[in-house]
Amino acid sequence: MTATLSSPGRPGTTSLDRRAIAGAAAGGLAFGLLMLAPALLSTYFVEIGFKLLLYIVLAEAWNLLAGYGGLVSLGTSSFFGLGAYVTAGLLNQSGMGLPLALGVSALAGMTIALFMSRGLFRLRGLYFTVGTLALAEALRLLVVNVPWFGGASGLFVTVDLPDTPELFRFAAGLLALATAVMTLATGSRFSVLLRAVRDDEDAASQVGVRAFRIKLAAFLAASALVAMAGGLQAAKLGAIEPYGSFGMQWSIDPLAIVIIGGLGMRLGAVIGGAFFVAIGELLADYPELHVAITGVVLILLIRFAPRGLCGLAQALIKRRSAPGATREAGA
């Protein structure tokens, strides 16, 4: 469960510390490469790369909620849209720079999450999912119907925006932040509590876990990440409008990515994101085919590899590494 990066069941052993250092080094190297990438890649790949990074961040956040916390959310688009609107509004009205605007967007996302948590966490399982869906719809309808944010047609960002390579670096920074959050949330003692709440909230309470706080912490972290991703997308497009910024695809795509990559697997978002974006690009000229193929892939994975591509790889590695151990256990 703890997947590839942390040793299962023994949080805090010395081998883990060594692993943490190795992981941090690898992460730092990857981040450095990402920061250099826009200078080396063609415009096309920078565009795709930006999209990929954004999707991975969304998927990481969704995986934190659903894979590790058992909170299956269809409300990603509400925080994504919120981030987009807050960022665009601040850029237009206050004259603050993009980094600061993104930070405020994150705070806005967390505020809404905090505000909604009282009601949402009363709902469990599928009811929670429906609750988040309702939140997303409600926010979108609000934005469409009140006149302040340009109504149904949206707004343009009127200030000068960073170019795509620059935004790519922003996205890389955001991914680094998401990775740090995920590493903390999935490799620490917090992760033990979070997964306990996921597996059985009542039983977790009976061993002293304050389930509400644990869920809230995960919800706040995920909402902040998603809101910042929404802000970046607004900066990329230079415009916001309710059907795009609050669009259902921002809720559905991360879900598809994580299920393809591996729900509750540490590398699920990265692998799934790469797969999802690659298919999208390869089939960009056949949009219907793209949707159909993604659907078929999802069906096949859910049927034959419920733990996604990462789970599949893990099972294969396990089978290969332990062929001789047969027959002993039962004797």
Residue 67 exposure: Cα atoms within 13 Å on the Cβ side:
33
Using rule CB under 8 A, residue 11 touches another protein: yes
Using rule CB under 8 A, residue 198 touches another protein: yes
Q: Minimum distance from CB of 200 to another protein (Å)?
A: 5
Using rule CB under 8 A, residue 1 touches another protein: yes
Helix (H, G, I), strand (E, B) or coil at 156: strand
Q: Minimum distance from CB of 231 to another protein (Å)?
A: 33
User: Residue 217 CB: number of other CB atoms within 10 A?
Assistant: 15
Closest CB to another protein among residues 92, 205? 205
- What is the distance of C-alpha 133 from the center of its chain? 16
Q: Minimum distance from CB of 188 to another protein (Å)?
A: 9
The CA distance from 264 to 262, in Å, is: 6
State how far the alpha carbon of 131 is from the alpha carbons of 42, 106, 118, 153, 222, in Å. Answer: 42, 21, 12, 27, 16
Contacts of 50 (CB under 8 A, 6+ apart): 164, 167, 168, 171, 236
- Segment contacting another protein (CB under 8 A): 46-54, 166-174, 204-212, 297-305? 204-212
Can you name the residues that pair with 41 across neighbouring β-strands?
none
Binding another protein (rule: CB under 8 A), the pick from 15, 42, 321, 326 is 326
Closest CB to another protein among residues 13, 145? 13
Binding another protein (rule: CB under 8 A), the pick from 206, 285, 303, 320 is 206
Using rule CB under 8 A, residue 192 touches another protein: yes
Closest CB to another protein among residues 42, 206? 206
Using rule CB under 8 A, residue 195 touches another protein: yes
- Segment contacting another protein (CB under 8 A): 28-36, 128-136, 199-207, 295-303? 199-207
**Would you state the structure tokens that stand for residue 151, as one six-digit string?**
């109504």
The CA distance from 233 to 213, in Å, is: 30
User: Residue 132 CB: number of other CB atoms within 10 A?
Assistant: 25
Please state whether 175 falls in left (phi above 0), alpha (psi between -120 and 50) or beta: alpha
Q: Minimum distance from CB of 270 to another protein (Å)?
A: 21
Which residues contact another protein (rule: CB under 8 A)?
Answer: 1, 8-13, 189, 192-193, 195-196, 198-200, 202-211, 264, 322, 325-331
